[in-house]
Amino acid sequence: MNDYLENPLIIIIFGITGDLSQRKLLPALYHLTKRHELPEHTKIVGVSRHKIPVSEVYAKLQERIHGSDFDKAVAEELHDMTEMVQMDLDAPDDYRKLKERLSEVSDQLGPGVSRIYYLSIPAQAFVSVVHQLGEAGHHEPFGLDGERPRLLVEKPFGYDTASAKTLVQAADEHFGEQQTFRIDHYLAKETAQNILTFRFQNPLFQTIWNKKHIASIHVVAYETIGIENRATFYEQTGALRDFLQSHLIQLLALVTMEKPEQLESDAIHAEKLRLLDSIKTIMPNEVHTLATRGQYDTYREEVHNEKSAVETFARLQLTIDNDQWREVPMVVESGKALHEKCSRISVTFRSNPDAKAENVLDFRIQPREGITLSLQAKRPGLDMETETVQMEFDYARSYGQTADAYERVIIDAVRGDQSLFSSAAEVLSSWRIVENVLQQWSHSDDNLAIYPVGSHANNI
C-alpha cells in the first residue's frame, strides 16, 4: 500500500498559479507533506508563462490552511521542494529544455523516479500542450525513471463532445488511457467513496434499490461563493460544464449503477459506463422543459460582460432508460452564490397513504460528511403525534477528521490507482447527455433566471 513512498517523485504542475491549483492542489500537497505521505524525495516543478519566484507561488498558502493546521516549517519544506520553470507553452524548444531539466532532477533524485504531469490549464490549451509534451518525449521514461510518466488532468475535460474526443485522442496518442488520470475530486470525497459500499454491503438497501421502492433521486451541489477570480474560466465554462457534466453525473452514476463484479477499478468503471450510457440524451425539443438555468445578479458586473448568458446555476431532469430506473425522476442541480454550501444525494422512497411523510436517505457529501435516514417516530407523551427524526451516521464522529479529496487524488495518481478517476468513455458519455442543452444555451439567453446572491435553489 505504501510502496509508493520508496520511489522518488517529480510532480510537474502546469498552471501552478491558477485558481484551482492555489485553492486545492497546493494545500493538498502541504497536508501530504505535513503527514509525510509524499515520498521523501519529492520535487515539485512549477511551470508558468512568466518568471515567478517560488515564494510568490506559495504567498497565499497560509490563507488556505485552517489556522492551527498551519506550520511554517512545513510550508518552508514545500517551498524548498519546489522550483519554477518559465515556459512559452507554444514553443517546442521550451518543452525540450524542460525535459533536460527534468532529466537532471531525475538523476539527482536517484533510480526509480515516478513523474506526474499535472495539467491545470484551460481546455483549449490542452491538446497543444499534450502534443508538445509527446513530441519532446516527455511521455517516455527517461534517465533513471522507474516507469512511464502519468498525466493528471483537471476537469472540465473538453468543452463539448467533439473537443473531448480530440483531447482523448491526444492523451491516447502519447500517454495512453492507463497513464491518463482525469480528476473528478468529488469521486474522492469520503461519502462518495462510501456509496458503493453502503449500497452493496447492506442487503437491506440492495433489495429496495429500484423504481418499485424509490420515488426520486436528487443530486445537488450548492455553493455560497461566486466565481471568485475566475472570470475568464467561468465565462467559457458555466455551471453545466463545471459541475453537472462531471461531478454530479458521476455521483448519479454511483448511486444508480448496478453491482460491479468486484469492487475494483476496471469492474466499477465498466458498470458505471453502462449506467451512463443508459441516461437519455436531452433532445433539442426537451431543453426548455428538462433544463433550467440561472445567473446570480452581480455576475455580469464581475465578469465585465453586461450581455453574458453564462449560467451560474443549472438543473437537469434526467431519465435513466433501464428496467431498474425508468420513470424515476432524477434531478441534478448546482449553483454558485446560493444561500448555503451543501452537496448531497437525496434518495426519496415511495410513500404510502398512511405515512405522514416520505423516508429520505441523504448521502451528505459536504459539509458534515455522513449518511442520514429520515424516519417517522412518535413524539414522547400521551398523544399519538408523529414527527420526522433522523437516523444518522457521521464520519467525523465515527472516525475523526478524514483526508481531503484532493490529497486522495494525488496519492492515487502516484500509486497508479485509477478507481477514482473518470475514464475517457465515461467523460464522452456525459458530454453526450448534456450536448443539446449546451448548444441551445449558447445561442440565446432565453429563460435565463437572474437570481439575487444568497438565493435558495428552490426559488430558481
- Side chain identity, residue 240: L
- In the complex with ligand BG6, the residue whose CB is nearer, 48 or 246, is 246
Catalytic residue among 247, 288, 304, 443: 247
Is 247 annotated in the active site?
A: yes
Please give the residue ranges that form the binding site for ligand BG6 (CB under 6 A): 223, 242
In Å, how far from its chain's centre is CA 207? 30
- In the complex with ligand BG6, the residue whose CB is nearer, 95 or 186, is 186
Return phi, psi of residue 47, to 5°.
Answer: -110, 130
Q: Which residue is nearest to ligand BG6 (CB)?
A: 242
Closest distance of CB 25 from ligand BG6, Å: 12
Report the distance separating Cα 62 and Cα 59, nearest Å.
Answer: 8
- In the complex with ligand BG6, the residue whose CB is nearer, 4 or 406, is 406
Closest distance of CB 228 from ligand BG6, Å: 8
Supply the DSSP string of 35-49, one letter for each residue: TT-S-SSEEEEEEES
- Measuring CA to CA, which residue among 326, 188, 330, 177 is closest to residue 249? 330
Q: What cell does 398 get?
A: 465515527
Whether a cis peptide bond, with omega within 30° of 0, leads into 367 is yes
- In the complex with ligand BG6, the residue whose CB is nearer, 223 or 426, is 223
Closest distance of CB 223 from ligand BG6, Å: 6
Report the distance separating Cα 17 and Cα 52, nearest Å.
Answer: 9
Closest distance of CB 350 from ligand BG6, Å: 31
- In the complex with ligand BG6, the residue whose CB is nearer, 176 or 367, is 367
- Measuring CA to CA, which residue among 86, 89, 156, 118 is closest to residue 14? 118
- Measuring CA to CA, which residue among 56, 71, 74 is closest to residue 17? 56
Strand spans (E) along 261-357:
291-296, 313-318, 330-335, 342-349
Report the distance separating Cα 131 and Cα 173, nearest Å.
Answer: 8
Q: What cell does 276 get?
A: 451512463
- In the complex with ligand BG6, the residue whose CB is nearer, 190 or 223, is 223
Which residues, in sequence order, are CB contacts of 270 under 8 Å at separation 6+?
Answer: 260
* Catalytic residue IDs: 247
